[in-house]
Amino acid sequence: MSKFWSPFVKDLVPYVPGEQPKLTKLVKLNTNENPYGPSPKALAAMQAELNDNLRLYPDPNSDLLKNAVAEYYGVQTSQVFLGNGSDEVLAHIFHGLLQHDQPLLFPDISYSFYPVYCGLYGIEFDAVPLDAQFQINPDDYAKPNGGIIFPNPNAPTGCLLALDAVEQILKASPDSVVVVDEAYIDFGGETAISLVDRYPNLLVTQTLSKSRSLAGLRVGLAVGHPDLIEALERIKNSFNSYPLDRLAIVGAAAAFADREYFDKTCRQVIESREWVVAQLQAKGFEVLPSAANFIFARHPQHDAAGLAAKLREQGVIVRHFKQERIAQFLRISVGTPEQNQALIDGLGDL
């Protein structure tokens, strides 16, 4: 029945998310979910909001949450934008800020939603190769462009770009929007939000899905110059004027307020990551330096697809990408100590 489609739809190549299996006994290390639950204070705030008020629309500006984000990062509320997960925030950014005559630049190995958005919004792009160590080289982005976007730490590699290198990219393209996608920044990096007051072309996006364990709630944000935020608000209010529901607003605000729980769970994930890295290296794996809640690893003697299949037989799911440059790597999310042990046991004696 595709005769009813708008013409552009048939040419779209949609994003494929990581598998969400229905079996409950699997050790699921393929989608970078946080192994620890949300802040108990966030859960309590959402439970308190489960009342008759759900018949009423939420605050279209989500002021409670905007204030919480602004206070947390020391910025103005006019510098904060909110959406349904960072994917919706990114969609509005691509639509409202990155459609220009010159090509958009992003790494050749990066978040695979970027080329999908380019297809959706008709944006030309230039995929800039990572270097031989799978790192972003700032010099490679100092060329004419209609915008720049990259995750930091990068995904699926987990590699972190230092803040001065981010600044180098910003300085080289003062007339382009530079988007730093910080989905994993809390697991070992320093946010670029500290730079937004000095660089009006900088936009930083974050999500509550990873470090705040709220992937099921769908809350994302962007921080940048008020002019950039205004463009996103115009797009949002032409698309979906009530993006965040009542539960998301109060739950996310409470999660930002509970710094103690946030710090504790981030520390646990980082400690577990270092343990997994050491265990894999002892088995002969090459592991890229990760500042995320996952690691990217390959074994010189074993095919990655074969290892993924072997782990699956043991009830452990990891992510394998078929893209040529990374086809021999596995992306492995950091789990609880028990899940991480199951991963190492599942690999057996290589």
Residue 1: its pLDDT value, please?
58
At residue 23 the predicted structure's pLDDT band, cuts being 50, 70 and 90, is low
pLDDT in tens, 48-105: 999 999 999 999 999 999 999 999 999 999 999 999 999 999 999 999 999 999 999 9
- Domains of the chain, each with CATH number or no CATH: 2-37+260-347 (3.90.1150.10), 40-258 (3.40.640.10)
At residue 24 the predicted structure's pLDDT band, cuts being 50, 70 and 90, is low
Residue 132: its pLDDT value, please?
96
At residue 19 the predicted structure's pLDDT band, cuts being 50, 70 and 90, is confident
Write out the two tokens for 273. Answer: 């990551």
- Do 114 and 124 contact (CB within 8 A), yes or no? no
pLDDT in tens, 285-311: 999 999 999 999 999 999 999 999 999
The mean pLDDT value for 119-129 works out to: 97
- Cα 290 from Cα 285, distance rounded (Å): 14
Q: How many residues does the chain have?
A: 350
Identity at 146, one-letter amino acid code:
G
The mean pLDDT value for 140-148 works out to: 98
pLDDT in tens, 33-62: 999 999 999 999 999 999 999 999 999 999
- Cα 196 from Cα 203, distance rounded (Å): 7
The mean pLDDT value for 194-206 works out to: 98
At residue 2 the predicted structure's pLDDT band, cuts being 50, 70 and 90, is confident
CB contact set of 159 (below 8 Å; sequence gap of 6+): 134, 135, 136, 153, 288, 289, 290, 291
- CA dist 177 to 102, 202, 286, Å? 12, 6, 35
pTM of the model: 0.95
Q: Is the pLDDT of residue 147 over 70?
A: yes
317 bridge partner residues: 28
Residue 20: its pLDDT value, please?
76
